[in-house]
Each structure stands twice: as structure tokens, then as C-alpha cells.
């Protein structure tokens, strides 16, 4: 049976500036990119191409010898073609029984939204993750990938991040994990051997981090230029959207949510929603939080900010006018709330996320 041979231990974690010293003399670092049926193919191949390019693309452009930093391989439960969640078929390089040892295990996104989905993840791959952890492999996980590491028990007592839409699942199902939802990258474990990244495209940050760690900052910058990658310096908070929980079994609160969706700018929105529920105020507050995960005031504030974000992305109304339209007569109050919930001011948000004028012109 073919195996992926590991490189020899290098006597501790190299620093980013000095990581490239001696890199030309060592064999490529073996990276097993795990493929689940729930995986996202664009992320799988994005990771593969980026790691494959380190030490190769730039050298080829300069007419220099190729010195690949990594040897990425797609690894699944078996080596048979695998149809993914999005109906794309992937042909893995290896099945897990062919990989006795690897240097890095990279878990891309998995599309799981409930505890039941987590329970349906392939137990063969979960067991193999535990085996490789016991053999000293480094682990990287992006987007929903940290949920896989948590399911394998690797993140208990450690910090981690994940895509903002998976934060509640990670917190609720794995209470021993220190979830840091606004972080793009987290490092934890012995020798920083557990590295997680957050939103969907943050696998790019994670790849650049790996290249800098093992091949030096200069090589990471070269790869970022080749692929036009940019570090997500603002964290996940500006990208997150409110996920309104309407899948609960409290009809009174669900009715209030439906009413609030159309009437959130009203100054008396919370008082009127409480009245419509027919519940005493304290009961309303308690049941609203239990059903939605939000206190009523926080829920209305989030609805208002979500609408403001949409207006900033697609229109040119002044910030003060947008604040007024979503329920804030005092511009300063609106700006403070927006910054607290989004992590940046309305003007900065518009500059970062507004649809370019040339695109809007083509859509008109």
C-alpha cells in the first residue's frame, strides 16, 4: 500500500522570517486535504492550488528551479470517486488506509447545520483524524472545518473560530471549546498545532499563514500577489449577517417576529410586539430570548442594522438619512450602534462593501 512519507521533525516551530532557511534542502511538507461528502469543492481545490503553488509558480516566472514547499493530496475515506454535497465528483489521491502518517491535516469546509448533520459525518474520517493527532500531525480547519475537529474531540479546552453562521452550533454542541467568532485565525494546542479560520474565503488567510510559517513571509507575499489574495484584517464581524431563528416551536414569538420584520423602525416596536404576543412583559422577554437567542431590544437593533447594511451596500443616501429610515433620529446613536454591532463605522462599511458603480451601471 502506498503511503505519504512524512518529513523529519525540524526541532520546533520555525519563525515566519526564518522559516525559509534550509527549505530548499528539505522534502515537501505532506498536506492531507480531507474530503467529506459534505465538503465544498471550490475550497478543496482552492487550498490545493494555493499550497501547490508555494515554491513553484513564482520560481517558474523567474526561470528558477521549482522548489515546492508542500505536497498537497486529496484524502477521503476511500480512493473511490466521491460525489459531494453540491453534486460535484472528486477523485481523491488516497484513501485513509493508504496514509499512515502525514505532516498536516487540512479540513476544508463541511456543510453542516445541525447536530444531526454532525452525527452523520463519516466516522472513518473522524477516527483517522484522532489517529493522526496522536501521531503529532498539525491540524488546519477552515469555515465549517473546525466543527469536524470539535467532533473529533481535538478542540476541547482550546480556542477556535468558525464561519459566523456556524458559531451557535459550535457553542451549543461543544461547550468546552472557547469560540472566538470575530477572529479570522486562531492558534491553539501544543506548538500551535490547531489552527482554525473563520468565513468561507478565510481559507486563503490560512494558506498564506501556512506558507509564511513554513516557507517565510516573502513566499507568502509572492503567492498572495499571484492569486490576488488579501488578508481579512477586519475579522468576520463586518461580514456577519443576522440569522433570525424562526425554526422554533413558540407560535406567539414567531408571530411577533413576523410583525417586527415590517415594523422594526417604529419607536414603540418592542412594546407593540409584546402587546401583540398577549404575554406579560417578563414572560415575553423570557420566551423571546429562549426562542430566538436574542433579547427583544437586541433583536430589533440587529434588524435595523441589517437593513442599514443593505442600504449602504446598494444606495447613496447619506448615513444620517439611512439611520433615520431604520429608526434612529439621532445620527450619533445610530453610528455608535452600527460600530458596536458591525465592528466599523457606516462610512467605512460603505467603502468596503458597496457594489462598484460600474457593476451597478451594468445591472441598471
Task: Give residue 235's pLDDT.
Answer: 55
Q: How far apart are CA 159 and CA 182, in angstroms?
A: 12
Answer whether 126's CB lies under 8 Å from 52's CB. no
Q: Cell numbers 474530503 correspond to what residue?
A: 35
Neighbours of 127 (CB within 10 A): 12
pLDDT along the chain (364 residues), means of 10: 35 37 71 95 93 86 84 96 93 96 94 89 96 95 94 94 89 92 84 84 86 85 82 56 65 90 91 94 93 90 88 87 93 92 87 67 51
In this prediction, residue 20 carries a pLDDT of 42
What is the predicted pLDDT for the residue at 190? 84
Q: Which residues of 51-69 are buried (b: 16+ CB within 10 A; e: fewer)?
A: bbbbbbbbbeeeeeeebbb
- Write the burial class of residue 267 (CB in 10 Å: 0-12 exposed, 13-18 middle, 19+ buried): exposed
Give, for 98, the enclosing helix (H) or strand (E): none
Q: Where are the domains of the chain?
A: 23-227, 251-363
Query: What Rg do the C-alpha atoms of the chain give, in angstroms?
Result: 24
Other CB atoms within 10 Å distance of the CB of residue 359: 10
Whether residue 102 contacts residue 51, with contact meaning beta carbons closer than 8 Å, is answered with no
Statement: the pTM of the whole predicted model exceeds 0.75 = no
What is the fold, at CATH topology level, of the domain defined by 23-227?
A: Rossmann fold (3.40.50)
In 122-270, beta strands by DSSP E = 138-142, 159-160, 178-179, 185-188, 194-197
What residues have CB less than 8 Å from 81, skipping those under 6 apart? 89, 90, 91
- Which residues are CB-neighbours of 286 under 8 A, at least 6 positions away? none
C-alpha triplet 161, 290, 238: angle, nearest 5°? 35
How many angstroms separate the Cα of 43 from the Cα of each of 48, 106, 211, 292?
8, 11, 17, 31
Sign of the C-alpha dihedral, residues 99, 105, 106, 109? positive
In the DSSP assignment, the letter for residue 15 is P
pLDDT value for 37: 95
pLDDT at residue 61 in the model? 76
Copy the grid coordinates of residue 96: 485513509
pLDDT at 244: 56
**pLDDT score of 140:** 95
Residue 6, CA distances (Å) to 49, 99, 104 in order: 20, 10, 9
Rounded CA gap, 164 and 172, in Å? 14
CATH architecture for segment(s) 251-363: Orthogonal Bundle (1.10)
Amino acid at each position: 500500500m502506498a503511503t505519504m512519507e512524512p518529513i523529519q521533525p525540524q526541532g520546533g516551530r520555525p519563525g515566519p522570517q526564518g522559516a525559509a532557511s534550509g527549505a530548499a534542502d528539505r522534502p515537501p511538507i505532506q498536506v492531507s486535504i480531507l474530503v467529506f461528502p459534505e465538503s465544498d469543492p471550490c475550497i478543496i481545490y482552492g487550498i490545493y492550488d494555493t499550497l501547490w503553488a508555494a515554491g513553484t509558480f513564482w520560481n517558474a516566472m523567474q526561470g528558477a528551479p521549482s522548489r515546492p514547499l508542500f505536497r498537497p493530496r486529496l484524502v477521503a475515506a476511500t480512493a473511490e470517486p466521491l460525489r459531494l454535497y453540491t453534486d460535484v465528483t472528486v477523485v481523491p489521491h488516497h484513501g485513509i488506509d493508504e496514509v499512515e502518517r502525514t505532516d498536516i491535516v487540512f479540513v476544508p469546509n463541511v456543510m453542516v447545520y445541525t447536530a444531526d448533520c454532525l452525527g452523520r459525518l463519516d466516522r472513518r474520517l473522524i477516527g483517522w483524524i484522532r489517529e493522526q493527532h496522536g501521531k503529532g500531525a498539525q491540524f488546519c480547519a477552515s469555515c465549517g472545518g473546525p466543527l469536524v475537529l470539535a467532533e473529533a474531540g481535538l478542540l476541547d479546552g482550546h480556542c477556535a473560530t468558525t464561519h459566523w453562521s456556524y458559531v451557535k452550533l459550535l457553542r451549543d454542541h461543544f461547550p468546552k471549546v472557547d469560540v472566538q467568532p470575530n477572529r479570522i485565525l486562531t492558534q491553539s494546542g501544543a506548538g500551535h498545532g490547531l489552527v482554525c479560520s473563520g468565513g468561507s474565503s478565510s481559507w486563503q488567510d490560512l494558506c498564506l499563514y501556512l506558507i509564511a510559517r513554513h516557507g517565510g513571509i516573502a513566499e507568502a507575499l509572492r503567492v498572495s500577489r499571484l492569486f490576488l489574495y488579501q488578508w481579512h484584517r477586519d475579522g468576520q464581524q463586518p461580514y456577519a449577517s443576522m440569522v433570525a431563528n424562526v425554526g422554533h416551536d413558540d407560535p406567539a414569538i414567531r408571530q411577533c417576529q413576523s410583525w417586527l420584520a415590517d415594523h422594526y423602525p417604529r419607536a414603540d416596536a418592542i412594546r407593540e410586539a409584546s402587546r401583540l404576543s398577549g404575554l406579560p412583559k417578563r414572560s415575553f422577554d423570557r420566551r423571546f430570548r429562549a426562542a430566538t437567542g436574542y433579547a427583544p431590544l437586541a433583536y430589533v437593533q440587529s434588524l435595523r442594522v441589517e437593513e442599514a447594511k443593505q442600504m449602504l451596500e446598494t444606495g447613496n443616501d447619506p448615513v444620517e438619512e439611512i439611520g433615520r429610515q431604520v429608526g434612529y433620529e439621532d445620527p450619533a446613536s445610530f453610528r455608535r450602534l452600527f460600530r458596536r454591532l458591525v465592528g466599523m463605522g457606516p462610512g467605512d462599511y460603505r467603502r468596503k462593501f458597496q457594489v462598484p458603480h460600474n457593476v451597478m451601471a451594468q445591472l441598471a
